[in-house]
């Protein structure tokens, strides 16, 4: 019974492959990659799968029973790409799909939600048993802010005191493996987030404690934040996107206290302090 993982060369996909190797025959694990050379050394079967190339997907999924469908990273192109993946899964007779969606996708103000909503609908209509894991924010998303904040003694944003219930990628990866271990998760939708919730001021305080330097968080209006990011050389679209994420954060869209992630993986999610410790090793 073969399990294939999309985005296997990505940061989440690599962790999923490594975790799957602990409980599955390596010969039954298939890493799907648009650049197979990136997957050499994974120790599993590697197949070419480009979301823009339906033929590659049809061939890659031919004998696959279970598809771990990690959402693509090319924002704005994901509806046709995800359609191609689901169509190929139907043609190949895939018997189960686990999809990584977005926390509270039906109510969030995050602009990236639309592609996930469309994908969830396509999945529900595909006739293949599915599980949807609506992933919250990765704590690792704050690595750059922390590293540049350490240099400037402050980091900036426009999230006000919005609470962020993020978790580490390894926690979300473990949830994928956990749902694969039983058929009880068919048709279920889980809202996954960290046990701990923090604001950007709380993050600055944690970095201060661990680094021994006083790091503050400076809250800007979203317009000021965009202007500052543009001055730092970010492209306009990226600056707008980052400010938009912070506005959604200020509205509570990254908050969740349902503890479904720790319930699924059977342990508390990775504490913020552990992830900050890892950031500081890179700084
Ligand atoms: P990542 O490191 O950027 O990995 C994305 C993966 O998608 C890579 O393997 C990439 O292949 C692959 N990919 C992109 N476009 C493709 C295409 N056209 N055909 C085939 N493969 C393609 O992202 P991540 O950190 O692992 O996160 C996994 C997903 O979660 C992202 O793709 C995104 O949908 C979502 N996400 C979530 C958060 C969060 O905080 N929850 C944050 C960022 C993203 P290459 O290695 O060849 O580039």
**Ligand 1, atom 8: nearest CA belongs to which residue?**
10
Token digits for 254?
């990254």
For domain 2-135, give the fold: Rossmann fold (3.40.50)
- Whether the predicted pLDDT of 170 surpasses 90: yes
Mind listing the pLDDT tens digit for each residue in 7-30?
A: 999 999 999 999 999 999 999 999
Q: Are 229 and 238 in contact (CB under 8 A)?
A: yes
Q: What is the pLDDT of residues 183-210, one digit of tens each?
A: 899 999 999 999 999 999 999 999 999 9
CATH entry 3.90.25.10 includes domain 140-164+195-256+270-282 = yes
pTM (two decimals): 0.97
Q: Is the CB of 242 under 6 A from ligand 1?
A: no
Residue ranges per structural domain of the chain: 2-135, 140-164+195-256+270-282
- Measured from the CA of 172, which atom of ligand 1 is nearest? 41
From CA 66, how far away is CA 76, in angstroms rounded? 26
Average pLDDT, the chain: 97
Asked if the domains 2-135 and 140-164+195-256+270-282 are classified in one and the same CATH topology, the answer is: no
Q: Is 35 in the pocket of ligand 1 (CB under 6 A)?
A: yes
pLDDT at 175: 98
Tell me, what's the pLDDT at 113?
97
Predicted confidence band of residue 42 (pLDDT cuts 50, 70, 90): very high
Q: What is the pLDDT of residue 128?
A: 98
pLDDT at res. 183: 87
**What average pLDDT does the segment 118-125 reach?**
98
Instruction: Give the mean pLDDT of 59-64.
Output: 97
Q: Is the CB of 81 under 6 A from ligand 1?
A: yes
Residue 85: pLDDT band by 50, 70, 90 thresholds?
very high
């Amino acid at each position: 019974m073969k399990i294939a993982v999309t985005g296997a060369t990505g940061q989440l996909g690599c962790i999923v492959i490594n975790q799957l190797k602990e409980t599955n025959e390596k010969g039954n694990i298939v890493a799907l990659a648009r650049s197979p050379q990136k997957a050499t050394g994974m120790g599993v079967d590697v197949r070419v799968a480009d979301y823009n190339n339906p033929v590659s997907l049809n061939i890659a999924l031919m004998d696959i029973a279970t598809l771990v469908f990690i959402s693509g990273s090319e924002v704005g192109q994901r509806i046709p790409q995800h359609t191609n993946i689901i169509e190929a899964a139907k043609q190949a007779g895939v018997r189960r799909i686990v999809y990584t969606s977005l926390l509270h996708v039906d109510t969030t103000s995050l602009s990236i939600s639309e592609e996930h909503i469309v994908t969830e609908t396509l999945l529900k209509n595909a006739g293949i048993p599915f599980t949807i894991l609506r992933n919250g924010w990765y704590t690792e998303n704050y690595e750059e802010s922390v590293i540049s904040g350490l240099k400037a003694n402050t980091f900036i944003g426009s999230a006000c005191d919005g609470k962020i219930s993020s978790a580490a990628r390894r926690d979300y990866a473990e949830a994928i493996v956990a749902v694969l271990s039983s058929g009880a998760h068919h048709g279920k939708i889980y809202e996954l987030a960290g046990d701990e919730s923090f604001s950007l001021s709380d993050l600055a305080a944690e970095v201060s404690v661990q680094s021994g330097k006083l790091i503050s968080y400076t809250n800007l209006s979203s317009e000021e934040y965009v202007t500052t990011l543009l001055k730092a050389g970010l492209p306009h679209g990226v600056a707008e996107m980052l400010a938009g994420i912070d506005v959604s954060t200020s509205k509570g869209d990254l908050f969740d206290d349902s503890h479904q992630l720790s319930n699924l993986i059977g342990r508390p999610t990775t504490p913020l302090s552990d992830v900050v410790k890892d950031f500081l090793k890179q700084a």
